Chain A
Amino acid sequence: MTEYDVINTRAPRLDAPDKATGRARYIDDMRMPGMLFGALLQSPLPHASILNVDTSKARNLPGVKSVVTAKDAGMTRYGVSPARYDESIFSRRKVRYVGDEIAAVAAVDLETAMEAVSLIKVDYEELPAVFTSEEALAEGAPVIHTGFPRNLCAEVHQEFGDVEAAFKGCDLIRTDTFKNKRQDAAFLEPNGCLADYDHSGHLTLYTSTQVPHYVQRTVAMVLGLPIGKVRVVKPYVGGGFGPKAGTNPMELAACLLSMKTGRPVKMNYDREQVFLFSRARHQFTHVLSTGVKKDGTLMALKNECYLEGGAYASFGIATVYYAGSLLGGPYKLPNMKYDGYRVYTNKPACGAQRGHGGVAARAAWEQQLDVIAEELGMDPIELRLKNMMSAGDVTCNDLNMSSLGMKECIKAVQGGSGWNEKRGNMPTGKGIGMACGFFVSGAGYPIYRSDTYHATVTVKLSEDGGTAHVYTGSAEIGQGSDTTMAMIAAEALGVRLSDIAISSGDTEFGVDLGAYSSRQTLMTGQATKMAAENAKAQVLEVLSEVLEVPVEEMDVKKGRIVFKNGAPDFERIRVTYKKEHRGWGDQPTGDLTFREAARMAYLRKGTIVGTGKYKPGRLGGEYKGAAVGTSPAYGCSAQVVQVSVDMETGKVTVDRMTDAHDCGFAINRTSVEAQMEGSLSMGLGEAMFEEVKFDDKGRILNANLGEYKIPTALDMPPIDAIIVESNEPNGPFGAKEVGEGAIMPTIPAILNAVYNATGVRIWELPLTPERVYMALKRKKDGV
């Protein structure tokens, strides 16, 4: 067992004191001299032709500095996947959902900008609209995007093995239909941005984003600027969870307005606009058929899925692939068939949200596995363990489980929850259920096709040798990546955590694909480790020359040089250092310090800069869409949930949650638990009450945090978070993801617990008292 000094501890997060005192600066806290305020005109209709846009009154309002529409912005198409660039900053000929952007205004204050927006006159011709997958796919349905008949945004058809042949040899085939509901990410900080175009033609966009790199590329492409003249800077971000992993029209509008006015332009979404922009969890309808042998051996899975996706593709191409590719594993399943359909509707666009594409599928399947276990007379844990993959196994769709502590996770929650004592021994209305899941540790390929590095990191040593500064484009959005990278750098360099400074979230600091697909710990972490090791090697090389000690005989630990064969005379280095820092406190004493060695390296070679980079090797199979779902590593979770159900009213209360997650190796143990706990909370919300609701005109009925209910402290039970470490060979120090895998089992574990409590299976979310009551009533009435 390797001894570490910094990683695998519970070091407090570096950003926590600033966040605890109100010092931490988020986008809405930024101000600039001469700053203008922007506002958007958004469509009140779900589907309409634009006949005319008259901005004359708005332009003439005192205080208005610029009004822009599609005429000014042009119609360059953008989006998330280059395969479906279907958005433009502003709509020119038609609007496709309530909220589609038509114009933007910059004015001296927000009130004036909003008044100007209200003065823009748009003539519409309303078009028939579609709001569900069924309506959108119907013969003769209105077409939302030209070239996409029946509003089919994307479809996927994959088969691994031969499902129909395998079904013939099965003793039991079970088919179920499952539906989740549109979820909102409900991050606490609404999206905001501040664009600043200067006289030398450089544009800086400060924005609340998960992906500075992708935003930089999109802004440059859409506004026709060289990428080197666009800088994207992310201040502290108040949560993202997926919807902030793309470019939004407000960011582009603010940039355009700043270019038009030559002044900084600030824009914010209000809470309703956050719901309108959406880009959160799709509404999935899964029809799953699973075939097993009577001993419980899983043989085949047929998965048909419809995704109601809203007016634009956003992440939807990836989502529709993920809804298929993230099933199968972590079980040894030889045959799998997937047919996925992502459908355009006249509603806000759905995109990625924690557990991208896999959460509803996992909820459906893990509940179905419980049904199968019961029909076979097996314990749910026994069924899962029987079919569980081991490290090194490859799924039928070519995902390589290079490490997999899944069995250890199951055993940990079995023991940790008291499963054996409780299961079958609880009164009616009380239940216990479990489920498993896994998720990628970073998407194997970038969103645009490229051989780009996924992360490049620089570690620069200060001239006095005392501080190592980590520069990375990665995005701290609350998950703790800054602290994780600082800990990795400190460990790899051999210095204390307090000797590290980190600057992140800025496209000037290198390429980093950002905070999505749970990629930063593994990918940015590998690049950070390499950069720190590179800086250390440069220092030791110089030291080797000066002291005439071979590099292999030296190391750095806790900020000190370790000489394996005894310390040589380093008096000359110490004297030099002390002379150069006459008057300073904190002069080095005792063993030779890394600070002195680094100073010596600087004197010989100039500024010491270590660089690191990371991209995965070739991953996955050869079939169409094989890239989606690939990753250098997979994290996995098992969960046990206990519930109480009021048999009279159908009200469900979650009493306790036990989660074990295999994160490979915990860089920061507290942060790993924190990701698990947050995942469970988001999963509990989706299971229990979250649903974005619409009226028959495509307007959101609950676009606020009062009527769209996310879990409060009273809704969350105590959580036991158990860390499992399997030492991932592709991860830095063995680390892999924790940010999303832990949400996978939450919903099905709750559903399985509700069944255990009541004897009713619920196949549609959320578990409102009404839905549970009706299910209980049907059971009572024998329907």
Chain B
Amino acid sequence: MKRLIRLTVNDKNYEIAVKPNQTLADVIREEIGLTGTKKGCEMGECGTCTVLLDGKPVNSCLVLAVQADGGHVLTIEGLETDQGLHPIQQAFVEKGAIQCGFCTSGMILSAKSLLDQNPEADEQEIRAAISGNLCRCTGYQKIVEAIQSVKDQGSVS
């Protein structure tokens, strides 16, 4: 039995009929068609499905879509504006923080959540904030450098 839910995703309103066992990750990917949110484990362990739900990072594979009813979701596709890439996206591109790219969406959203709350975050706080986002390619070095560079520019919006 499907249930109608309301979601605001990247400032756009949706009314979607979802199955009670459907995850937010699947609704974002399959019903809304935003495939930038990845699924790496479906057990809440890898962080590739991270989105911001009402401003907070969540593993969208662990959130049932019905639980998110009425919520505001920000996915990676919602960061870019008419002015171009978000400063964190730009930093990831310029600093070489992206290799295979599969962790990138979740990583950038975790970084955004951190810098929104704590624009002065130090290296250890940055590492802690992204510790739920696994990356097998980079050793995190250039990811941490990218996030630090955004902080140093003070250009988070």
Contact = CB atoms under 8 A, between A and B. Distances in A.
A189 B45 contact: no
Nearest to B108: A20
Is the contact region of chain B dominated by helix, strand, or loop, or is it mixed? loop
B40 A713 contact: no
Nearest to B99: A478
A20 B75 contact: no
Contact of B100 (A18, A21, A237): A237
Contacts of B99: 239, 478-480, 674, 678
Interface string A650-690: 00000000000000000000110110011111101000000
Given A22-B105, A188-B135, A673-B96, A718 B39 contact: no
Given A13-B98, A236-B101, A674-B99, A706 B131 contact: no
B42 A270 contact: yes
Interface residues of A, number: 57
B42 A187 contact: no
Given A20-B93, A480-B99, A674-B142, A710 B136 contact: yes
Contact of B131 (A271, A480, A714): A714
A67 to B, nearest CB: 25
Contacts of A189: 38, 40, 100, 102
A131 B136 CA distance: 28
A157 interface: no
Contacts of A479: 99, 137
Contact of A682 (B127, B134, B136): B136
A673 B142 CA distance: 9
Interface stretch (A23-31, A118-126, A384-392): A23-31
A415 B126 CA distance: 29
Interface stretch (B1-9, B63-71, B77-85, B149-157): B77-85
A237 B142 CA distance: 20
Interface string B89-115: 110111110111111110010000000
Contacts of B32: none
Interface in B112-153: 126-128, 130-144
A658 to B, nearest CB: 12
Is the contact region of chain A dominated by helix, strand, or loop, or is it mixed? loop
A478 B35 contact: no
Given A270-B42, A674-B142, A713-B127, A186 B136 contact: yes
Contacts of B128: 713-714
A271 B143 contact: no
B83 to A, nearest CB: 13
A681 B140 contact: yes
A271 B41 contact: yes
B2 to A, nearest CB: 14
Given A20-B108, A188-B48, A271-B41, A716 B139 contact: yes
A21 B36 contact: yes
B34 interface: yes
13 contacts: A10-B96, A19-B104, A20-B104, A187-B102, A189-B102, A237-B100, A238-B102, A678-B136, A678-B139, A704-B43, A705-B41, A713-B127, A714-B131
Interface of B: 29, 34-43, 45-46, 48, 75-77, 79-80, 85, 89-90, 92-96, 98-105, 108, 126-128, 130-144
Nearest 10 pairs of A and B residues by beta carbon = A22-B36, A478-B100, A238-B102, A19-B101, A681-B139, A670-B96, A677-B139, A29-B35, A22-B76, A188-B102
